Amino acid sequence: MYFFILKHRLRTTKGILKHFWTSFIGLIAVSGYFLAQFYSKVLNGGIGFELSEKNIFYFLIFCIALNGFRILLKKQPIITLNAATVHYLYFTEYFKQILIFEYVWMFIKTLFVTFVISGIISGFELNQVFLRYFLLILGYMFVGVLLAWSRYHVLKGKLKLVIILCYIVTSIVFVAEIGIISLVLNYSLLLFWICYVIFKLELNLAKYIKDTAFIDETNSASSQFNLAKMSQMAIENVAKKKHKFFLYHFPLKKDNAVFYKSILELIRTGNSVWGLILFLFLMGFLFYRTPVFSIIPIFGGISALATTGALSLIMMTYINIGEILKKHAITLVKKHKQGLFIPLGRQKIIFSYLIVSILIFAILAFFTGLIFESKFFVVLLFYIMFIVIFALDFYITLIESRISKVSNKVMPIILFMLGFIFFI
Amino acid sequence: MFLKFDNISFSYGEDLAINDVSFEMNKGEIVGLIGANGSGKTTAILNIIKYLQPRSGKIYVKGIDILKLKNENFPVSYIPDDPIFYDELTMLEHFHFLKALYPDNELTIEYLIDKLELHPHLQKVPSALSKGTKQKLLIALSLLRDYEILIADEPFNGLDPKQISIFKDTLLNCKKLGKAVLLSTHLLDMVDGLCDKYILLKDGKRIAYGTKKEIIKMHNLNTDITLEQIYLTLIERVE
């Protein structure tokens, strides 16, 4: 039985890797490079170079933040089993053993992370410093895992308070005293929580099955490269998030309802999308204004190539935001056509979305001007040209003109080039 | 005559889905569009809402070709068979969005929420709703629009008996207000007696049209026969 559970997990992982290996390699390469740069240039670390106390402190703060996220914020369980496994085996003798395997697997993963962090701190030398931090961080991080796991299943009551108190106390001692007190405290708590999760913890079964079923579905869609399902799940997942701001908080009228709806759609676009867009813009800034990429011979500093790289990333941000707005407008028109009628012509819908575009691109143009230290009238001219061409593209797409297929390919290229005309 | 479906034919590629079908609807009339799955009911409706365009024939509303009617004054409200919503909006946001777009409709959001018992679901997005609640939301949204023709495609799907009764009352109220209602269904006992006229379809062809009495008379059937029996008898005769 254990073999089948492992086989299922391996098969899913294999499917995901098969379809996304290029993305994974790209991500590992980029983040690896970025972290290596950060380690050597900002932290002045390296093999044989122990970090300064100040920089070690930052690493400890990172560990505290990670534990804090896991214990206080993370909504999904830190240990995930297949939903079917939980459903069918929960009331059997096997379930406890499976969970213990999972705890051990989680411990091995924590061991690996701790090894890397301690290595970074000690300059990857197996000395006393390494051993001290290794033991300390391992204890603290694994207590964090068990606290997060318990916190996930315990929704309220005194135990929740105890878990939060444990986190606060261990975190304070963790940064305040790198020695025996911290070690004794963490390992005593570790022993207590190991006993607790093995012998006492009752799983919040309904919540756990619901969450793991969602994770399974996502993994299964990824491993089969079912893009339609992945996209639908992403939309539904974003939509299901609890909101604090609602459409009816705006002063809705017939003339502005679509405008406010489009604003709300943008606000509710998934964090990952905004994260990616912010990342592109930030990378553009780093390329042009900082020496972070200077060890790559062709980039870094205010050279023509650095400008090219920076502009490419920034213009990609513009294009992506434009595409998001277009997609929202197309969806509205498509749903109208399917029967979710609204009493507005296409011109009115296009106009509403264009106002939103004008506002957003004004903000982007302002920051682009700041990054490239451009003159006001250059930025203004770029902005006006961009809006005019974008509006034309938007219009052609929305009226489903015969040339819209060509326009969808050509217009983004023209918009992309516009940045190079004005900022180089 | 308010809506005229005039000799409409439509095909999906080579497959003829509607073959020269005609019918008319007047104000204050409930018309039942009856047929088995795949008989052409939804295709006929999709032609009326302009999602599809007929291969031949024309559809008129108050004598105007519907293809010439603009979105701003398209007098149709539609309850689709396949639910369509704005994925990112909650139920209450859907209501407020449509209410803002149709401010002249006298129905209030609160009235619809109460009538259809939607209180527990107001902050949920459509994907988090059950099938029946989605259907109730579709009904509520269709009633919030300004319309003169209400088209409902399989509207009883997922509704419980109480909600079915409420929905039937709503349709009768529409009729009282002088609206035309086109009701498509294959659940014949649901609409027996409710509709003023019936259009019976089979494989895209109209096999009967008129009031129940007219159909019975035209096809020499027993007078105390149910709609289901009429349909099954006529189907058998055609086959």
Give me the pLDDT at residue A300, please: 46
- Which pLDDT score, from 0 to 100, does residue A305 have? 67
Chain A residue with CA closest to B88: the answer is: A239
Do B167 and B195 belong to one domain?
Answer: yes
Measured in whole angstroms, how far is the alpha carbon of residue B199 from the centre of its chain? Answer: 12
Distance from C-alpha of A124 to C-alpha of A50, rounded to nearest angstrom: 8
Q: In this structure, is the dihedral angle defined by the CA atoms of residues A246, A251, A257 and A263, taken in order, positive or negative?
A: negative
Question: 3-state class of B182 per DSSP?
Answer: strand
Distance between CA atoms of A357 and A337, rounded to whole angstroms? 23
Which of B50, B72, B86 best probes binding to A when mutated, by most A CB atoms within 10 angstroms? Answer: B86
A342 close to B (CB below 8 A): yes
pLDDT, tens digit, 9 for 90 and up, residues A93-133:
888 888 888 899 999 999 999 998 888 888 878 888 888 88
Whole-angstrom Cα distance, residue A270 to residue A28? Answer: 23
- DSSP-derived 3-state class of residue A120: helix
The answer to whether the CB atoms of A344 and B85 lie below 8 A apart is no
pLDDT band at B31 (very low <50, low <70, confident <90, very high): very high
Q: Kindly determine whether residue B127 and residue A239, on different chains, have CB atoms separated by under 8 Å.
A: yes
Burial of B167 per CB tally in 10 Å (0-12, 13-18, 19+): buried
Q: Is A238 on the interface with B (CB under 8 A)?
A: yes
Q: Which of A233, A253, A341 to mutate to test the interface with B (most CBs of B within 10 A)?
A: A341
Nearest CA in chain A to B49: A339
Q: In terms of Cα–Cα distance, which of B38, B66, B31 is closest to B151? A: B31
DSSP structure string for B75-99: -EEEE-SS----TTS-HHHHHHHHH
- A302 vs A311: CA distance, rounded Å: 12
Q: How far apart (Å, rounded) are the C-alpha atoms in residues B84 and A137?
A: 52
Residue A343 to residue B128, Cβ atoms within 8 A: no
Q: Are A341 and B71 a contacting pair at CB < 8 A?
A: yes
User: Which of B87, B93, B96 lies closest to A235 in CB terms?
Assistant: B87
Q: Which long-range contacts (CB under 8 A, 24 or more apart) does A212-216 make?
A: A212/A77, A212/A80, A212/A81, A212/A82, A212/A83, A212/A86, A213/A83, A215/A76, A215/A80, A215/A83, A216/A82, A216/A83, A216/A84
Specify the pLDDT at position A183: 84
Query: Residues B164, B230: one domain?
Result: yes
Query: Looking at beta carbons, which residues of chain B come within 8 Å of A247?
Result: 89, 93, 96-97
- Confidence category of residue B99, pLDDT binned at 50, 70, 90: very high
- Strand partners of residue B24: B4
**pLDDT value for B239:** 76
R_g (Cα) of chain B, nearest Å = 18
What's the pLDDT band for A80 if we cut at 50, 70, 90? confident
Distance from CA of A413 to the nearest CA of B (A): 30
Record: contact A340-B86, CB cut-off 8 A? yes
Domain containing B71 — which CATH number? Answer: 3.40.50.300
Q: What is the DSSP string of A350-415?
A: HHHHHHHHHHHHHHHHHHHHHHHT--HHHHHHHHHHHHHHHHHHHHHHHTT-TTHHHHHHHHHHHH
Give the closest of A236, A339, A342 to B101, CB-based.
A342
Contact A243 B97 (CB under 8 A): no
Higher-pLDDT residue of A225, A11: A11
pLDDT above 60 (res A295): no
Looking at the structure, do residues B155 and B121 belong to the same domain, yes or no? no
A342 and B74 within 8 Å at the Cβ level: the answer is no
Given its phi and psi angles, is residue A20 left (phi above 0), alpha (psi -120 to 50 degrees) or beta? alpha
> Considering only CB atoms, which chain B residues are within 8 Å of A268?
88
| Shared domain check, B223 and B152 | yes
Sheet order of strands, B3-12 included? B15-25, B3-12, B56-61, B64-65
Task: Confirm if B12 and B54 have CB atoms less than 8 A apart.
Answer: no
Distance between CA atoms of residues B125 and B141, nearest Å = 14
Helix A205-223 × helix A2-37 angle, to 10° = 70
Of B100, B130, B145, which residue constitutes the final position of a domain? B145
| pLDDT confidence band for A42 (50 / 70 / 90) | low
Distance CA A87, CA B43 (A): 43
What are the start-end ranges of the H helices in A38-157? Answer: 53-68, 83-89, 94-122, 128-153
pLDDT at A127: 83
| Whether residue B155 is found in the same domain as residue B60 | yes
Distance of CA B79 to the CA centre of its chain: 7
Contacts of A342 in chain B (CB under 8 A): 71, 98, 101
Q: For A319-375, what is each residue's pLDDT tens digit?
A: 988 989 999 999 999 999 999 999 998 889 999 999 999 999 999 999 899 888 889
Residue of B nearest to A329 (CA): B86
Lowest model confidence (mean pLDDT) among A42-51, A267-276, B7-16, B105-114: A42-51
Q: Is A228 on the interface with B (CB under 8 A)?
A: no
Select the residue from B47, B68, B71, B151 to test the A interface by mutation, using most A Cβ atoms within 10 A.
B71
Determine the residue type at A327. K
pLDDT of residue A296: 54
Distance of CA B235 to the CA centre of its chain: 22
Q: Which of A138, A147, A152 is nearest to A196 (CA)?
A: A147
Q: Residues B50, B126: one domain?
A: no
Contact A150, A201 (CB under 8 A): yes
How close does chain A come to B230, measured CA to CA in Å?
32
**Contact (CB<8Å) A236/B87:** yes
Angle at A203 between CA A199 and CA A208, to 5 degrees: 150
| β-bridge pairing B64-65 and B56-61 | antiparallel
The token pair that represents B137 in the structure block: 């939301």
The verdict on B229 and B160 lying in the same domain is yes
Q: Are residues B181 and B133 in the same domain?
A: no
The pLDDT > 70 percentage for chain B reads 100
Q: Strands B205-210 and B30-35, how do they pair?
A: unpaired
Give B-chain residues touching A340 at CB under 8 angstroms. 84-86, 141
Q: Tell me: the pLDDT tens digits for B120-143? A: 999 998 988 889 999 999 999 999
Contact A252 B73 (CB under 8 A): no
Do B35 and B118 belong together in one domain?
no
Domain end call among B117, B145, B173: B145
Residue of B nearest to A258 (CA): B97
pLDDT in tens, A152-187: 988 767 888 899 999 999 888 888 776 788 888 888
Q: Which chain B residue lies closest to A252 (C-alpha atoms)? A: B100
Smallest Cβ distance to A339: which of B49, B72, B98?
B49
Query: Which percentage of chain A shows pLDDT scores above 90?
Result: 27
Any chain B CB within 8 A of the CB of A340?
Answer: yes
Looking at residue B104, the DSSP 8-state letter turns out to be T
Share of chain A above pLDDT 70, in %: 90
pLDDT recorded at residue A274: 80
Measured CA distances, A288 to A39, A194, A283 (Å): 21, 50, 9
The distance of Cα A127 from the centroid of its chain, to the nearest Å, equals 35
AA letter at A242: K
The count of structural domains within chain B is 2
- Any B CB within 8 A of A48 CB: no
Domain match, B13 and B131 both: no
Band (pLDDT 50/70/90 cuts) for residue B164 is very high
- Pairing outcome for strands B149-153 and B76-79: parallel
Chain B residues with beta carbon closer than 8 angstroms to that of A264: 88-89, 93
| Residues of chain B positioned with their CB less than 8 A from the CB of A343 | 71-74, 101-102, 145-146
Amino acid at B183: L
Cβ contacts (< 8 Å) between B51 and chain A: which residues? 337-339
Max avg pLDDT among A136-140, A370-374, B44-48: B44-48
What is the domain range of residue B95?
83-145
User: Which residue from B73, B84, B87 is facing A239, i.e. has the nearest CB?
Assistant: B87
β partners of residue A97: none
The answer to whether residues B198 and B222 belong to one domain is yes
Question: What is the spatial distance between Cα A71 and Cα A285, in angstroms, rounded to a whole number?
Answer: 34
How high does pLDDT run on average in chain A?
84
Q: Of B145, B162, B186, which residue is a domain's last?
A: B145
Assigned token pair, A343: 């009493």
B17 and B113 housed in the same domain: no
Write down the pLDDT at residue A303: 62
Give the dihedral sign, CA B146/B149/B151/B156.
Answer: positive
- Which ipTM was obtained for this model? 0.91
